Structure 1
Amino acid sequence: MLYPELFKQLESVRWNMDSDIGWDKFDPALLSEEQAQTVKMNAITEWAALPATEMFLRDNRDDSDFSAFMSVWFFEEQKHSLVLMEYLRRYRPDLVPTEEELHQVRFEFDPAPALETLMLHFCGEVRLNHWYRRAAEWHTEPVIKQIYETLARDEARHGGAYLRYMKRAMTKFGDEARAAFAKVGVLMASARRTAQALHPTNLHVNAQLFPRDTIQSRLPDPAWLETWLDTQIQFDAVWENKVVERILHNMSLLMERSFASVQELNRYRKELTVALAKRAAGGGAEPQPA
């Protein structure tokens, strides 16, 4: 089981909201109205860990190890929402999200393949780490800068934990897992070719609720994410390349095969698809990873 070890690792570096955040360093002159509004939107977005956890527990009923790890992930992700709301409670109480605004992002996600979902959220953690690092640079008020730096480190650790479960899945499921991870990796590393930000909170997850079936679509300002990325924190091509590089680097380590580009990862995905199709047709045993 991975859960006991991951619990100890994450417990050893867990930060305390009262003593580890420099609340006394707040400078009201350095917090603009647009910056404060984005804190509210991110606080609501982080609350979506609640329906994501419900999805993970539902779709991983046969995996008690991973489901137990959700107790740690859920706690830390909800804490992200809480610390952002605490910031607003202290300094901009008029912007604290209402319970109804938070509840709007709790809705049921359609069932999805567990392996693809695992990879999707691994990539989501990588991307969010970079978004929050950039947000910390954009903000001018020192307390919220520290909070975003703190959250970014958490997201990086969560990505590392998901990677451990991906390695375990490859041992258990072989090429089926490799194909699932490569498929989603190609999608999530191709954000420059899409009109929207590729993150789990911005993907459609409930056909019956379409088009209001993304987390972002259910926020008070559904268009805020694109504005935040494009014109506020300016998550440009340089930063997007950093996300792609991290995804490809981790896929290279995971698959024990170098991927210098999304195109190389996509060729590997096609190789796996062919191999799985042949095996399904009775063409032989599963090949060993390169």
Structure 2
Amino acid sequence: MLYPELFRSLESVRWNMETDINWDQFDASLLSEEQAKTIKMNAITEWSALPATEMFLRDNKHDSDFSAFMSIWFFEEQKHSLVLMEYLRRFRPDLLPTEEELHAVRFEFDPAPPLETLMLHFCGEIRLNHWYRCASDWHTEPVIKQIYKIISHDEARHGGAYLRYMKKALVEAGDGARAAFSKIGVLMASARRTQKPLHPTNLHVNKDLFPNDTVQSRLPDPDWLENWLDGQIQFDADWEKKVVDRILHNMSLLFERTFESVQDLNRYRKEVMARLGATDTPVTSAA
């Protein structure tokens, strides 16, 4: 069981919203209207940890260890939403999300294969870590720069915890886990070939609600994410390469085989599928 160890590890580095954020260093002259609005959108997006947790608990009823870990992940992810809202409450109360705006991103996700979902969120944590690091560089106001750095570190630790559960799954499920992880790894490391950012909050998750079945589609500004990445924080090819390299590095550690490119990982995926005797389906869509 990983939960007790992960609890101790994450508890030892947990930050305090009242004492570890330098609220007294706020400089209103360094916060633009454009920047403040993006903070609101990120606060609402982080609130979607609520339906994600409901999904994880529903689809992992067979795994009490992982389900217990959700108590940590849920707490820390909701804390990210809370600290961004606290920033707005103190300094831009006019932009504080309403309860209705927060509740809009709570909707049911369709059931999905648990191991594929685990890998999807592992990659999502890597991507968020880099998005928030980039956002911290873009912001000019010192308090929000600090907040984004702090929560980016949380996302990295969450990715590390998911990796521990992926290693456990390899022992328990063997090639079935390898197939699931390599499939989603190829998908999530191929963002440059898609027209939209690849992150769990930007993927379709409820066919009955389509097309309004992504978290981003239910924000006050559904087009916000693409504009934030491309036009504001400028998450460019160099940043994207960092994400892809990190995914490939972790897949190399997980599978004990070196992957220099997405093509390398895809070849490995095909090898695993062949061992399973399964029909290979090309990985082409994030929907």
**TM-score, length of structure 1 as denominator length:** 0.96
CA distance in 2, matches of 1:212, 1:55: 18
Q: Residues 181-204 of structure 1, C-alpha deviation per residue, up to 9 Å, x if partnerless?
A: 000000000000000000000000
Deviation (angstroms), 1:262: 0.1
RMSD: 0.8
* SS of corresponding position for 2:220: coil
CA distance in 2, matches of 1:154, 1:190: 24
CA distance in 2, matches of 1:239, 1:44: 24
* SS of corresponding position for 1:268: helix
Q: Which residue is 1:158 aligned to?
A: 158
CA distance in 1, matches of 2:231, 2:39: 15
Q: Which residue is 1:100 aligned to?
A: 100
Tell me whether 1:275 sits opposite 2:282 in the alignment. Answer: no
Q: Which residue is 2:57 aligned to?
A: 57
CA distance in 2, matches of 1:208, 1:247: 32
Q: Which residue is 1:6 aligned to?
A: 6
Q: Which residue is 1:230 aligned to?
A: 230
Q: Which residue is 2:283 aligned to?
A: none
Deviation (angstroms), 1:174: 0.1
Q: Which residue is 1:288 aligned to?
A: none
Q: Which residue is 2:192 aligned to?
A: 192
* SS of corresponding position for 2:277: helix
Gaps of 5+ in 2: 280-287
| Paired residue total | 279
Deviation (angstroms), 1:144: 0.2
Q: Residues 162-221 of structure 1, C-alpha deviation per residue, up to 9 Å, x if partnerless?
A: 000000000000000001000000000000000000000000000000000000000000
* SS of corresponding position for 1:231: helix
Q: Which residue is 2:253 aligned to?
A: 253
CA distance in 1, matches of 2:270, 2:233: 36
CA distance in 2, matches of 1:78, 1:49: 7
Q: Which residue is 1:122 aligned to?
A: 122
Tell me whether 1:85 sits opposite 2:108 in the alignment. Answer: no
Q: Which residue is 2:143 aligned to?
A: 143
* SS of corresponding position for 1:258: coil
Q: Which residue is 1:39 aligned to?
A: 39
Deviation (angstroms), 1:114: 0.2
CA distance in 1, matches of 2:172, 2:275: 17
Q: Which residue is 1:15 aligned to?
A: 15
CA distance in 2, matches of 1:240, 1:277: 34
Q: Which residue is 1:286 aligned to?
A: none
Deviation (angstroms), 1:249: 0.1
Q: Which residue is 2:70 aligned to?
A: 70
Amino acid at match of 1:199: H
Deviation (angstroms), 1:100: 0.3
Q: Which residue is 1:179 aligned to?
A: 179
CA distance in 2, matches of 1:257, 1:55: 32
Deviation (angstroms), 1:278: 6.8
* SS of corresponding position for 2:166: helix
Q: Residues 250-282 of structure 1, C-alpha deviation per residue, up to 9 Å, x if partnerless?
A: 000000000000000000001111110179xxx
CA distance in 1, matches of 2:34, 2:156: 27
Percent of residue pairs identical: 79
Amino acid at match of 2:43: A
Q: Which residue is 2:202 aligned to?
A: 202
* SS of corresponding position for 1:86: helix
Amino acid at match of 1:181: F
**TM-score, length of structure 2 as denominator length:** 0.97
Gaps of 5+ in 1: 280-290
Deviation (angstroms), 1:116: 0.1
Amino acid at match of 2:240: E
